Chains A and B, each alone.
Chain A
């Protein structure tokens, strides 16, 4: 009981004391952090970086929540979006694998990138795995971003949920 009361107090205090320096710096920094996350994800030639890019992208959401409060953060990234995004990456990965079977007319195995007829489109045969790696990286990054922001929201959430709990208890 004491905990919930304290959380409500803290939430109100948070709403009133919004520092202008913190919000301005967050507004300035968040686009650059997200560009850097995109660079880490797909900016370099080669595999790897999906997980790290996703974590950096999640860090931008953590900065948003730190600067603007958790209710506004939840409005920007609702929980239903979180659930959808955290499974979207898996669908990207599995879909690329299935695409290998379908586009090679059932002659190649699952996730056999070499069988995709993409090199006719791109032109250079040595880069045919690269575009597929980009899709896989983006899928991994979306999943990691959704899961890390979800964990952070669940650990830090104490706003409206607590008010609803208090209402229910008061009604009883």
Chain B
């Protein structure tokens, strides 16, 4: 574990998670969730869990984002308040 990289990545994780549940544009929220998945994949690779990191980069950041955007194309983009 590389402690400075870990601290920076975890800080950005919390910031991006807060932004993803706060922003009103759902497409932006989904893209922020994709960025969240990539950063957490980095965290897992530097925590010596390489297989989990690779699977998260493929499934979490790739397939789940594609599913969410495909759903968003059939529903509406903006969140009402």
Any A–B CB pair closer than 8 Å: yes
Query: How close is B75's CB to chain A, nearest CB, in angstroms?
Result: 8
Q: How large is the interface on A (under 10, 10 to 19, 20 to 34, 35 or more residues)?
A: 10 to 19
Q: Is the CB of B62 within 8 A of A52?
A: no
Does the CB pair A59–B67 fall under 8 Å? Answer: no
Q: Is the CB of B67 within 8 A of A55?
A: no
CB neighbours (8 Å) of B51 from chain A are 48
Per-residue B-contact encoding for A49-60, CB less than 8 Å = 1, 0 else: 001100110110
**Cα A51 to Cα B59 with chains together (Å):** 10
Residues of chain B whose beta carbon lies under 8 Å from any beta carbon of chain A: 51, 54-55, 58-59, 62-63, 66-67, 70-71, 73-74
A7-B74, A48-B51 are contacts. A62–B58 as well, Cβ < 8 Å?
no
Contact residues in B for A158 (Cβ distance below 8 Å): 73-74
CB B73 to nearest CB in A, in angstroms, measures 6
CB nearest to A7 among chain B residues: B74
| Nearest opposing residue in chain B for A54, CB measure | B58
> A7-B74, A51-B55, A156-B70 known; 16 other A-B pairs, CB under 8 Å?
A3-B74, A52-B54, A55-B55, A55-B62, A55-B63, A56-B62, A58-B63, A59-B63, A59-B66, A62-B66, A152-B63, A152-B70, A155-B70, A155-B74, A156-B74, A158-B74
The verdict on A151 contacting chain B, using a C-beta distance below 8 Å, is: yes
Question: What separation, in Å, do the CA atoms of A156 and B70 have in the docked complex?
Answer: 5
Answer whether A151 and B67 are a contact pair too, CB < 8 Å, given A56-B58, A59-B58, A59-B62. Answer: yes
B66 touches A152 (CB 8 A): yes
CA–CA, A58 and B62, complex, Å: 10
User: A52–B58 contact, CB under 8 A?
Assistant: yes
Residues of B within 8 A of A155 (CB): 67, 70-71, 74
Bound-complex Cα distance A7 to B71 (A): 12
* Minimum Cβ distance to chain A for residue B16 (Å): 22
Give chain B nearest CB distance to A59 CB in angstroms: 5
Contact: B67 with A152, CB < 8 Å? Answer: yes
A82 and B75 alpha carbons, distance in the complex (Å): 26
Docked pose: A64 CA to B66 CA in angstroms = 12
Q: Does A148 contact B (CB under 8 A)?
A: yes
Measured between beta carbons, the chain B residues less than 8 angstroms from A163 are none
